[in-house]
Amino acid sequence: MANYEQIIKLSLERGFYFPSSEIYSDAPAGFWEYGPNGVNIKNKFIDLWRKELVRKATMVEIDGAQIMSENVFIASGHIKNFSDPIIKCSGCKSTFRADRFISEKTGQEVPERINENEINVLIKKNNLKCPKCDSDFEESGRFNMMFKLGIGPNNDEAYLRPETCQSIFVDFSRLFKVMRGKLPFGVAQIGKSFRNEIAPRQSLLRLREFYQAEIEVFFNKETVNQIAGFEEIKDVILKIFYDDTNKELTVQEAINQEIIPNKLVAYYLVLLKQFYEKTGIDMEKTRFRKLSNEEKAFYATIAFDFEVETSVGWLELVACNDRSDYDLSEHSKTSKQNLEVIDPHTQTKILPQVFELSMGIDRSIYAILEHSFFDDIENERTVLRLKPYLAPITVGILPLVKKDGLGEMATKIFSDIKRDFNVFYDDAGSIGRRYRRLEEVGTPFAITIDHKTLEDQTVTIRYRDDMSQKRIDVSKIKEIINSLLNN
RNA sequence: GCGACGGUCGUCCAGUUUGGUCUAGGACAUCAGAUUGCCAAUCUGGUAACCCGGGUUCAAAUCCCGGCCGUCGCACCA
């Protein structure tokens, strides 16, 4: 298992990801680029997400705009809630979280949603000064985590979305109609979200611009226990961290003990678990953490975080929230549109509830890299033991030597298969070095062209994990790699 | 955003204390050639860096100021 520094080093050296605009000294923190290897693994991760979540659970996918109007975020609550009250010292310019600062100094409870006037009053009343330089505070303000934009010549107020899901909520009415929706109705989206983090840190783990893969399941709360696929998954064991203890229990038991509220939530938690099993993340180091009321986002009634243990601690990869009818109800009020639908099953008119799986793609990629990293001391190599279908390069084509026509033969094989897979051709240096380079970026298969190839049209295929080799016919290469990818 | 510490080839490190000998050195990686011909071999040669801006000085990688970035802590979070 690797640590954070090793992964960063590998990423920089081998082009997985690196800081954005790094040739400029004013490049702000929190923005990273995916390089060639990183893009491949990200795209393949997304392919897997589509296959194992979107298609498996029969959802639809959309691709919404990243810029949305002010009203969207008034309705969503982000204008009001997605910000922290702050106070700034007039002398040394130190900034403090107002609510925490006041309650610390006065010992009295200060609600997080406190407004600016109340803060100013409390500061005056208690004669609070800056703890560092004893100056007075400026008028209190709010720091909103959304990026504000001006649209058109009048600079109409708009924001970069802080989560992708608002597109799904505002589009719900049309989507339900045009897709002839039934409940539960799953809508998925991959895209970028933007948050003006105070202190972005740790590369892909806390970004200001990041990828989310979100799934919003609209459902009728009267039928949350009538879930078609539940029988098949009721004995699946989940690890749930709750009340400071780890519990391992079947979803049926979790429902019986009221840890999981209903079959619908259970179904999607299992779906998510099964997805992550296929990413190669070590499932022994994962858990669902049930959040307490204090930890939950402002829109959530029930929340589970899917977490994975890494060298930098437990990382939250997916937020699984029951958002109740909060979003549709607020959008309905603000837009003055009726967003109710008829549930075809019950023939009742309802405003659907929402259960979401909000996945951080960048963090997931990091976790996969870290869990795949293997320092193979015995064979003096480092290997990324990625699942073959996630590896940035699927197969390397290596002529044992350049001369004797082996180079030409290898080039021909390369041309024959390069549209089918991510293939990398390498004839530089010793064969052992070329194998090492490939396995360092997780390439699962290497085809070696040797002198025997010219005699009988066979090549060797080498497997990354055990370094074993097998002779196969040149004509079978595509077929064999395809079958290995589908394992 | 604050505080502490830090920033030198792709990566890791030496040089900064005491300004000049730095035309910035090494290792690994990389590129070219030779050699070998199935697991990071060897030889030869090459590419490649003082975070950015300003100041002090005859002279700055080295001292000073500002900015940016990084690590950690506070906080925030997918």
A63: CB partners within 8 A, 6+ apart: A189, A190, A191
Q: For residue A26, which nucleotide's C1' is closest to its Cα?
A: B68
Domain A4-75+155-371 matches domain A83-144 at the CATH topology level: no
List the A434 CA – B13 C1' distance (angstroms): 26
Q: What is the pLDDT of residues A332-362, one digit of tens each?
A: 999 999 999 999 999 999 999 999 999 999 9
Starting at the edge strand found earlier in the chain, the sheet holding A156-160 runs: A67-69, A156-160, A148-151
Q: For residue A315, which nucleotide's C1' is closest to its Cα?
A: B78
* pLDDT for res A80: 80
Q: For residue A31, which nucleotide's C1' is closest to its Cα?
A: B69
List the A378 CA – B13 C1' distance (angstroms): 26
List the A380 CA – B41 C1' distance (angstroms): 14
List the A13 CA – B48 C1' distance (angstroms): 14
* pLDDT for res A89: 64
Q: CA–CA separation, A33 vs A20, rounded Å?
A: 5
Q: CA–CA separation, A447 vs A462, rounded Å?
A: 6
| Residue A163 φ/ψ, nearest 5 degrees | -155, 150
The protein residue nearest nucleotide B41, judged by CA to C1', is: A430
**If you average pLDDT over residues A65-85, what whole number do you get?**
87
Q: For residue A30, which nucleotide's C1' is closest to its Cα?
A: B69
The protein residue nearest nucleotide B36, judged by CA to C1', is: A430
Domain ranges of chain A: 4-75+155-371, 83-144, 393-485
Covered bases, chain B (protein CB within 7 Å): 1-3, 10-12, 29-32, 36-42, 51-52, 67-78
List the A409 CA – B21 C1' distance (angstroms): 57
The alpha carbons of chain A give a radius of gyration, in whole angstroms, of 27
Q: For residue A406, which nucleotide's C1' is closest to its Cα?
A: B37
List the A92 CA – B56 C1' distance (angstroms): 28
Q: For residue A84, which nucleotide's C1' is closest to its Cα?
A: B76
Range of weakest confidence among A104-108, A187-191, A442-446: A104-108
Q: For residue A452, which nucleotide's C1' is closest to its Cα?
A: B38
List the A400 CA – B34 C1' distance (angstroms): 17
Structure tokens that stand for A171 in this block? 């589009």
List the A435 CA – B41 C1' distance (angstroms): 14
List the A195 CA – B40 C1' distance (angstroms): 43
User: Mean pLDDT across chain A, nearest whole number?
Assistant: 89
* pLDDT for res A122: 76
* pLDDT for res A486: 87
List the A275 CA – B66 C1' distance (angstroms): 50
Three-class DSSP labels, chain A: CCCHHHHHHHHHHHCCEEECCCCCCCCCCCCEEECHHHHHHHHHHHHHHHHHHHHCCCCEEECCCCEEEHHHHHHHCHHHHCEEEEEEECCCCCEEEHHHHHHHHHCCCCCCCCCHHHHHHHHHHCCCCCCCCCCCECCCEEEECCCEEEECCCCEEEEECCCCHHHHHHHHHHHHHHCCCCCCEEEEEEEEEECCCCCCECHHHECCEEEEEEEEEEECHHHCCCCCCHHHHCCCEEEEEECCEEEEEEHHHHHHCCCCCCHHHHHHHHHHHHHHHCCCCCHHHEEEEECCCCCCCCCCCEEEEEEEEECCEEEEEEEEEEEECHHHHHHHHHHCCCCCEEECCCCEEECCEEEEEEEEHHHHHHHHHHHHEEEECCCCEEEECCCHHHCCCCEEEEECCCCCCHHHHHHHHHHHHCCCCCEEECCCCCHHHHHHHHHHCCCCEEEEECHHHHHHCEEEEEECCCCCEEEEEHHHHHHHHHHHHCC
The protein residue nearest nucleotide B72, judged by CA to C1', is: A201
Is A111 a residue whose pLDDT tops 90? no
* pLDDT for res A50: 97
| Residue A144 φ/ψ, nearest 5 degrees | -90, 135
Is A191 a residue whose pLDDT tops 80? yes
* Fold adopted by A83-144: Herpes Virus-1 (3.30.40)
Q: For residue A197, which nucleotide's C1' is closest to its Cα?
A: B76
For the domain made up of A393-485, the CATH class stated in words is alpha beta
Q: Do residues A223 and A183 touch, judged by C-beta distance below 8 A?
A: yes
Range of weakest confidence among A110-114, A116-120, A314-318, A368-372: A110-114
Is A393 a residue whose pLDDT tops 80? yes
A4-75+155-371 CATH, one of 3.30.930.10, 3.90.70.10, 3.90.420.10, 2.60.120.10:
3.30.930.10
Is A477 a residue whose pLDDT tops 90? yes
